[in-house]
Amino acid sequence: MKQALMALVVSFFATTTVFANEITVVDAWVKPTIPGTENGAGYFQITNQGTQPVTLNGVSTEVSRASEVHQHVMTEDGMMRMRRVPELVIGSGETVTFQPGGYHVMFFGVKNPFKVGDSIEFQLQFADADALDVTAEVRALH
C-alpha cells in the first residue's frame, strides 16, 4: 500500500509542468516616458527557481499598443541598436536582469504617459509555464 502511494506521488511530480510560482520577478520598474514620445521601457530581475529551463516568449499589456522583449546589441558599425528577442531561455536557477542598455520590455504606443509614482501592469508569457503578472513602478532616472 505504502509503495503504491509512493509510486503515485512520484508519477504526479514527473508529469507536473513548471508552475508560475517557480518564476519570480523582483524590482520591476519603468522609465517615465519622455514628453512627445510614445515609447517606454520596463526593467526587472527574473529568476527561474524551477528545475527546468523556461522560455519567455511574449509580453502583453493594456498600457500600450504593443510590447516586446528587447535587447540592446552592438552592431558592426559600433552603434547600439535594439533588437526584438522572440525567445529568452532562462535556465534552472538562473537570474536575468533587465536593465538600461540590456534586456528590457519595450512598450510601443504608450496610451497614457508613464509618470513617476504610477503603477504599470504587464504580463510575461512563457512557452512552458503559466503567464506571470507584473506590476512595475514608474521611477525617475538618476
Least Å distance, CB 29 to Cu ion, is 15
Least Å distance, CB 104 to Cu ion, is 6
Instruction: Give a three-class secondary structure readout of 50-84.
Output: CCCCEEEEEEEECCEEEEEEEEEEECCCCCEEEEE
Least Å distance, CB 70 to Cu ion, is 3
Of the pair 40, 50, the CB lying nearest Cu ion is at: 40
Give which of 25, 24, 41 is closest to 139, Cα–Cα.
41
Question: What whole-number distance in Å separates Cα of residue 37 and Cα of residue 128?
Answer: 35
Of the pair 18, 61, the CB lying nearest Cu ion is at: 61
Of the pair 93, 102, the CB lying nearest Cu ion is at: 102
Site residues for Cu ion, 49-88, by CB under 5 A, read 70, 82
Site residues for Cu ion, 84-113, by CB under 5 A, read 106
Question: What whole-number distance in Å separates Cα of residue 104 and Cα of residue 84?
Answer: 10
Least Å distance, CB 20 to Cu ion, is 25
Of the pair 83, 111, the CB lying nearest Cu ion is at: 83
Q: Which three cell numbers mark 69?
A: 522583449
Q: Which three cell numbers mark 100?
A: 538600461
- CB count in 10 Å sphere of residue 134: 19
Count of positions on this chain that bind Cu ion (CB under 5 A): 3
In the complex, the residues that contact Cu ion under the rule CB under 5 A are 70, 82, 106
